[in-house]
Amino acid sequence: MVEFRAGYQASGGTVVHHEVARFEKEDGAWYYLDGDMVSPQPVRVEKIGRNAPCPCGSGKKYKKCCYVKG
């Protein structure tokens, strides 16, 4: 089993091919058997409160350290 990601440019953007594939060794050579595409996982973002400790580890409040007004 091999899991790989390959990126390439297409239609003006980057596309990532993510696959888990099976290979078999026969007479000293590896042969591709089949593979399954891996679906992208949703990105989880945890909202940090302005008064929470800064995740950078500075010990300051987030609003006084790495907070960027947007």
> What are the distances in angstroms from CA 54 to CA 9, 12, 35?
37, 37, 42
Q: Give the phi and the psi of residue 64 in degrees, each rounded to 5.
A: -100, 5
Spatial neighbors of 22 by CB under 8 A, at least 6 apart, are 1, 2, 32, 33, 34, 35
pLDDT tens for the chain, 70 residues long, are 999 888 888 887 888 889 999 999 999 999 999 999 998 766 676 788 878 888 888 888 888 888 766 5
Q: Is the pTM of this model over 0.75?
A: no
